[in-house]
Amino acid sequence: MMPAPNGHEELLTRRGERSGLQMAIAVHSTVLGPALGGCRMWHYRSTGDGIDDALRLARAMTYKAAAAGLGLGGGKGVICLAGAGPAAESRRDALLDFAEAVESLQGRYITAEDVGTGAEDMAVISERTSHVVGLPPGLGGRGDPSPLTARGVERAIRACCSHRFGSADLHGLRVCVVGLGHVGTALARGLAASGAELLVSDIDSGRRRLAEQLGARWVDSEAAMLSRCEVIAPCALGSAVDEVNAELLRCQIVCGAANNMLADESLAERLREREIVYAPDFIANAGGLIHVSAELHGHDAARVDDLVDSIGETIERVLAEAELASMTPLESARELARRRLSAAPAVPAT
């Protein structure tokens, strides 16, 4: 076990015995409960980059779980791929190695799927540890989290509209969904059903057919972020808002699913100066986390829906508090998470 950097509780790094791959698990906080966070299988330039990613993402998970009121902490795992990535057999080896690392933390960290891993991989991990969620339905899992992530984002968009326009009604509002993948597609369908005037975009022009089905206007991906509309909903990769387009955005609200939507956190201030309402991504996109955490808590579908719908109230609160305190919604969201963390009963020393 390496000494954990400031602010994190634990950092485990090891070379997998079977796979020979470097892997790391960062536990940022277990103050509110066990640290839940996905296992990312990715090519990093160095093991150090992989460890940095795990540390950064673990911290973000603490804030996400705290803001969603889930009674969970924040952690993240990474498996650093080498060369062309593992063939089927060595992929299994890497997952079993990772599973043993998870098991060694005795439940302080719970893993799940993330970039580069899926439900079938979690099934392999479950052969060596029970501290895993996001399993296939046949093994007690709840299936694809994307529809619930989309549902939460729609609630967040409505909350932003309520804050900005005094009404959560989406009828006739122009919303541009950037990225028609798992979440973007579900979100676009929901928005279309709610009467929004849809603009959609993807780097994959094959998604154009979906635009036609939804009666949406297709926008070139180069220009999508600068569409003239009420709401831009980034649902592709991170850094959708960068230093260049932050000056040029022609929307009034930025609210979507993409993680790390701001290329730099200081852009939250720039959006505030430009009077563009920004919904912090770690609150707006928490539906997927709520969905997988239901496996742990045994929540039924109705309870999950209620929790996901409460994302709208959380966004309303964060925006109102930000306005009152003349701070950005990002700072206000962090404050909310910090208050929940500091209100948690102290863990007795053993």
Binding residues (CB under 6 A) for ligand NAD: these are 145-146, 149, 178-184, 201-204, 221, 235-237, 257-259, 285, 288
Which residue, among 282, 219, 214, 225, has the nearest Cα to 254 in the 3D structure? 225
**Closest approach of ligand NAD to the CB of residue 134, in Å:** 10
Catalytic residue among 76, 91, 108, 151: 76
**Closest approach of ligand NAD to the CB of residue 52, in Å:** 18
**Closest approach of ligand NAD to the CB of residue 137, in Å:** 16
Which residue number is nearest to ligand NAD in terms of Cβ? Answer: 181
12 versus 156: smaller Cβ distance to ligand NAD: 156
Residue 22 β-bridge partners: 15, 80
What distance in Å separates the CA atoms of residue 118 and residue 273, rounded to the nearest whole number? 40
* Tokens encoding 139: 């093994």
Report DSSP letters for 157-209, one per residue: HHHHHHHHHS----TT-EEEEE--SHHHHHHHHHHHHTT-EEEEE-S-GGGHH
194 versus 221: smaller Cβ distance to ligand NAD: 221
236 versus 262: smaller Cβ distance to ligand NAD: 236
What distance in Å separates the CA atoms of residue 28 and residue 4, rounded to the nearest whole number? 9
76 is catalytic: yes
142 near 168, Cβ under 8 Å?
no
**Closest approach of ligand NAD to the CB of residue 167, in Å:** 26
What distance in Å separates the CA atoms of residue 288 and residue 280, rounded to the nearest whole number? 15
Give me the phi and psi of 176, to 5 degrees please.
-110, 115
The structure tokens 């849809």 sit at 198
206 versus 348: smaller Cβ distance to ligand NAD: 206
23 versus 176: smaller Cβ distance to ligand NAD: 176
22 near 297, Cβ under 8 Å?
no
* Tokens encoding 40: 């990312």
Which residue type sits at 334? R
**Closest approach of ligand NAD to the CB of residue 35, in Å:** 17
Residues with a known catalytic role: 76
